[in-house]
Chains A and B, each alone.
Chain A
Amino acid sequence: MADDDLEAFRADTRAWLEQNCPPGARGVPMRPENSVWGGRRPYWPSDDQRLWMERMAERGWTVPDWPKEYGGGGLSKAEAAILAQELKRIDAASPLQSLGIWMLGPALLEFGTEEQKRKYLPDIANGRVRWAQGYSEPGAGSDLAGVQTRGELRDRNWVVNGQKIWTTYGDKCDMIFALVRTEPDAPKHLGISFLLLDMDQKGVTTRPIELINGDAHFCETFFDNAVTNSENIVGERGQGWSVAKFLLGHERAMIGQASGAGMGKPLEQVAKDTLGVSGLRAEPALRQEVVDNLIDSWVMQIAMERMRDQAKAREMNPHTPSVLKLVGTELNYARTELIGALTGTDTLTMDDADTVRWLSAPANCIAGGSNEIQLNILAKRALELPEHK
C-alpha cells in the first residue's frame, strides 16, 4: 500500500478513535484485574471499557490482523502497526485480552478446518467465549510431551480423563484447548491430539491454586469422562505436538517481551527517588548492579526492536523467541530484586506492587518452557549439539 494511503488510514483511524474511545477506557493501568477478558460470564471493570470492547469488536479491531470473515479487521501488517501506534497515542486500554486471541486463534488460522475457523474465531474476536489452555500436567511439566490425559473415541465423541495444571484463569473460562494422548501406542510425540472441550459440563472440575505472589489465576482442571464432539480436534490425530510447538513459540516471545518491558517505575527512577544520586554513590556495589541491569535492559530493548525489523525483512532468526524468553525473564527477576533492595524494608509487604512483581518473576522463568528447556532448545536446534544416546 502506498504511503499516502497509509497516512489516510492513520487520519481516519485517529478520528474514529477520538470519537469512539470513551474516557474511562483511557489511561487504565495494564493489570489483569483492570482488563476485559470476555467470556460467557464476563467481568467488566467499567461501563466505558465494555462499550469500548463492543465498539472495537464491531470493527474487528480486537483482532485487527485476522481476516474479516472470522471477525477480524482484515488489516495489513502496516495498518495494524498504525492502529497500535494510534491506540498508544491516546493511551487506550487494550479492548479485549484472551488466550483465544494470543494462542488458539493463531493455531486455528494455521491448522484449523474452515468449519472450525467459522465456528470459533468470531466468538474469540467479540469476546463471547473465553478460552483456557490445557497443557501442563502434574507429571508433565518440562517434559510436556509426556502428557498422560487420555482421550478415547467412543461413538462420535472424544471421552477425556486426566488432570491438567496451570490452566490460567481456568475457573473463569468457558472452553479449553488441551493436549490429550489419543494414540497410546504411538511414540511419545506422535500420540498427542489437540482437542477443544467445553468446560461447562459435569465431567470438568476446576480449582484455583494460590501462588506465592497472592494470585490465584492458575488452576488445576480435572477431566472425569468429559466429552467433546469428534470434530473438535485441531490438526490430525496424533499431530497435537506440532500444533503445541507452534503455539509455544508465540508464548515464549510474549513472556520474554512482557518481562523485559519495565512495568512500574523505571529502575533508574526508583534509584534516584529512594537513595538519591549521592546516596547511591555511597553504595558503589549496589550502584554497579543497578547500572549493569540498566545496560542489560537496554540491550534487551534493542533486541526486540531488531526482532521486529527482522520480521519485517523476513529474516527472523527462529531461535530468537527462546533467547528473549530466557534473557527477558531473568532480567526482570533481577530488576525487581534490585528495586526491592533500593526501597528496603518498607516494601516487604504484599500490598507493594514491586514486591508482588518480584514474587511473580520466578514463575516467568518457569512458564512457557522453563529457562533450562530454552537452553536445551538452543543447544539442540540453534547449535545442533548432539544428544546423549
Chain B
Amino acid sequence: MALVLTEDETMLADAARGLLDRLAPVTAFRTLRDSTDTLRYDPALLNSLAENGLVAPNIPEENGGVGMGVAAAGVIIEMAAHNLTAAPLVSAAMAAELIARLGTDDQRDKLLPALISGELVVACAFEEASRHDPSLLDTTARNDTLSGDKTAVIDGIGASHMLVSAKDGDATRLFLVDTSVEGCHVEPIQTIDGRNFASVVLKGARGEPVGQGDVSEAISMALDIGRALLAAELLGISDQAFTMTVSYLKERKQFDRVIGTYQALQHRTARLYARLDLARGVVLKALRSIDSGSEDASQLASLSKCVMTRLSRDVLAEAVQMHGGIGVTDEFDLGLYFKRARVAGSLLGDDRFHAERLAQLRWQL
C-alpha cells in the first residue's frame, strides 16, 4: 500500500485531533499528572475516545471493530501524542491483535467489544528484565496457574485484565489474567512521564489460556505492533516539540534580533526537519507492513523504533537547548514531552536494542 494516508485515515486523524484538542489538551494531562489518584488515565476520556471509534481500530469488523488496521491505530496514537493524551491506546491495540488472532470465539465475543468500548483495559505483561529482552521468560505456568515477576507493564495500573506470557514446560504460552484474582499483585510505578506503568507479581494466580500450544510467534508480532505504535507516538511527540521550537525561534529576541535569524540555529533546525520528513515514511511503512503481513514487518518495526527513539532524543534535546532556561522548568510543557520521549523510547527496546536486532536479523552481521 502506498506511503501516503488514505482518505479514511486522514479523516480519522482529523477527527482524533479535533476531539483530543477539545477534550484532552496538554492541561488535561498536567492535571492528571498532578492528581493524587493512582489511576494514570482518565476513564471518562477513554469512553469518549471509544465512542468515536478511536480505541483499537485494528479489531476486525467481524468482531465489532472498524477493521482499519494497525496503521489507523498509529495515526490516532500519533495525534494523541501531540497533546500527551494519557489513554491505554498502545496496550489496547496489542491486546486486541492477540485476542483476535489466538482467542476462542467465546473469548473474542467476550473481550473484543469490551476493549473497543473502553469498558475493559487489557494490558500486556511480557517483560521481565529492566532492559528490554524478549528472550527472557522465567514466569511459569502449571495447570493454568501462574507464578513470576513482570515489569514495565504498559497501562498496567487500572487494567481489568492482563495477557501474561509464561513458560509451560518448553512452550511459551499466553494467559488472560483477571487482575482481581488471588495471587495477582499489581504494583504501580511512578515513572518520570507521569503515565501508566506497573510491575506485576504473580504467585499462583489463575489464568485462562489464550491460544493453544506455543504462541511465541504471536507474542513477537504483538511486540512489533507495540514497537511501531510507540514509534508513531514518538513521531507525534517529536513533531509537537519541533513545532513549538520553530515558533519560539521566531519570537525570542536576543542581541536585538530574533534568534531564528542565526544561521547556527537555522541549520540545526533544518537538519531536524529533514530527519522528521524521512521518519514519517518509515513509521507509516512499518505500520503498513504489519497490516499487509509483509515478510519484513518485524524488521521494519525495529527500524521505526530505532529511528524514532534516536530522532525523538535529538529533537527533544535540541528543543530544550534552543528554548534555554524556560525549557528546563516544570511549568513549561516542553519538559513533559522530554520525559515522555525518554520513557516511550525505552519501552519495548531502545535504538541500540533495535539496531542490534536489525544487524542480526536483516544483515546477518
Contacts and interface: CB of A to CB of B under 8 A. Distances in A.
B358 interface: yes
What 3 A-B pairs are tightest by C-beta distance, nearest first?
A: A306-B281, A379-B266, A378-B270
Interface residues of B, number: 39
A310 B3 CA distance: 7
A53 to B, nearest CB: 34
Contacts of B4: 306, 309-310, 313, 315
Interface string A270-284: 011000010011000
B267 to A, nearest CB: 4
A300 interface: yes
A70 B172 CA distance: 67
Given A299-B303, A383-B269, A385-B269, 9 more contacts: A280-B365, A295-B355, A303-B278, A306-B284, A309-B4, A313-B2, A385-B260, A386-B250, A388-B261
A249 to B, nearest CB: 15
Contact of B246 (A290, A315, A383): A383
Contacts of B353: none
Contacts of B285: 302, 305-306
Given A313-B2, A385-B246, A375 B306 contact: no
Contact of A378 (B263, B274, B364): B274
A203 to B, nearest CB: 40
A319 interface: yes
A84 interface: no
Interface of A: 268, 271-272, 277, 280-281, 287-288, 290-292, 294-295, 298-300, 302-303, 305-306, 309-310, 312-313, 315, 317, 319-320, 322-323, 326-327, 372, 374-376, 378-379, 382-388
Contacts of B249: 385
Contacts of A323: 273-274, 277-278
B23 interface: no
A305 B3 contact: yes
Contacts of B54: none
Contacts of A291: 355-356, 358-359, 363, 365
A313 B307 CA distance: 26
A117 B161 CA distance: 71
Nearest to A388: B261
Given A372-B267, A378-B270, A385 B359 contact: no
Contacts of A299: 278-279, 281-282, 303, 307
B250 A268 contact: no
B278 A379 contact: no
Contacts of A295: 303, 306-307, 355, 358
Given A302-B281, A309-B4, A386 B365 contact: no
A385 B247 CA distance: 9
Contact of B278 (A272, A281, A300): A300
A379 B2 contact: no
A31 to B, nearest CB: 27
B258 A386 contact: yes
Given A272-B365, A287-B359, A291-B359, A319 B250 contact: no
Contacts of B262: 388
B246 A306 contact: no
Contact of B3 (A280, A309, A327, A388): A309
Nearest to B363: A268
B267 A375 contact: yes
Contacts of A388: 257, 261-262
Interface string B1-23: 01110000000000000000000
B300 to A, nearest CB: 9
B251 to A, nearest CB: 10
B142 interface: no
B281 A379 contact: no
